[in-house]
Amino acid sequence: MQRTQVAIIGAGPSGLMLGQLLHRHGIDSVVIERQSREYVEARIRAGLLEQGTVDLLHEAGVAARLEREKLVHDGIELAFDGRLHRVDFKALAHETVTIYGQTELQKDLGDARVASGAPIHHGAGEVAIHGFDGGRPRVSWLQDGVRQELECDFIAGCDGFHGVCRASVPSAEIQHHERVYPFGWLGILAEVPPVADELIYANHQRGFALCSMRSRTRSRYYLQCTLADRVEDWSDERFWEELAIRLPAERARGLVTGPSIEKSIAPLRSFVAEPMRFGRLFLVGDAAHIVPPTGAKGLNLAAADVRVLYRALVEFYRGGGETLLDEYSGRALRRVWKATRFSWWFTTLMHRFDDDAFSHKLQLAELDYLAGSRAAATALAENYVGLPFD
């Protein structure tokens, strides 16, 4: 039977980031991933990083390409009622955000794992975790048809919303809190320059729209759609026409269109599982919480979990005991719930929930208040750039 100090289930950004940080502190880990590396790196995901996440990537030694290619944004634009209002993060919260695609970050982390020589097993089937409620946790899986077993001190469940780790916790020991939203996001990726230098969040009577980017030549755009919509219902031409309608005329005129290179529909939900520690098992990132993408908090929350957990593990292996490990769930959840609140608030502010004109007028009134109140704009800016770690 194999042996390691920390077994990491899942080779997404949180799993690889945790493994890289532990490696730099001399702590052994084995990463176990159900999918191939090519599959994981091809997934289209987020692209906005808080400064705390950027700092953690520097700490992990994987920020060289990010620093060469990143775009730094000082604010966002809010579009509503035919108007544009800019929220200046730098002036209001004294912080910026960084644009760098999660697909690129995934490649950087994968390269770092390979360069470290630390074990990583892609294509692992029938992954199961055992004994995490006692002193001898272990992981089993099938690799090329052969059953493998791994003993460890701790298990980090970085395997996402549908992973095995949270599902392995007895239902009596975990609480699930969930809000499912009655719409989805239709997103496209296209090799066209962004319509603006910063992100645009649009509240429109036909539904929400978001203009985002991955680089100066690659754009990511989203439209609020119904849960009954299918990707096949939306030609590129129809998408671009609808996006232009939902943008103020001054931005729509500058919209550059082109063929999509990826198109997908994602449902939106808020989800929190608590606690996030069960004996020797720690849930990290999407395994414990999901937020709607409106506030760009998903990847950043995962990085915050990693920060708390890796420092607790370093303290433990340096002989400092389990105090920080015992505090992991409480510390992580304080940040999770604040980000969940912000993501819920921003989603309800910007999206069309029904055809009720009264509700839409209230949204416009709140946006108008936000545009005229430094205090309200500061609250948005502080939450968007990322609340400080406790």
**Would you please indicate which residues are annotated as catalytic (active-site) residues?**
73, 201, 293, 297, 384
- Burial label, 259 (beta-carbon count in 10 A; 0-12, 13-18, 19+): exposed
Classify 363 as helix, strand or coil.
Answer: helix
User: Counting Cβ atoms within 10 Å, is residue 178 exposed (0-12), middle (13-18) or buried (19+)?
Assistant: exposed
CA distances from 384 to 89, 289, 292, 326 (A): 8, 18, 13, 29
Tokens coding 122: 């892609």
Cβ(15)–Cβ(8) below 8 Å = yes
Q: With CA atoms as reference, report the closest residue to 282 among 124, 137, 176.
A: 137
Burial of 377 (C-beta count, 10 Å sphere; 0-12/13-18/19+): buried
> How big is the CA angle at 122 (ends 116 and 123), to the nearest 5 degrees?
170
Q: What is the Rg, in whole angstroms, of the alpha carbon atoms belonging to the chain?
A: 21
Measured in residues, the chain has a length of 390
Given a contact cutoff of 8 angstroms between Cβ atoms, the answer to whether 89 and 74 are in contact is yes
CA 171 to chain centre: 25
Query: Is there a contact between 364 and 203 (Cβ–Cβ < 8 Å)?
Result: yes
Residue whose pair of structure tokens reads 């919260």 in the numeric block: 93
Q: Which two tokens stand for residue 309?
A: 């957990």
- DSSP characters over 319-355: II-SHHHHHHHHHHHHHHHHHHHHHHHHHHHHS--SS
Q: Which residue has the tokens 């996030």?
A: 276
Task: Please report which helix (H) or strand (E) contains residue 371, including its range.
Answer: helix 357-372
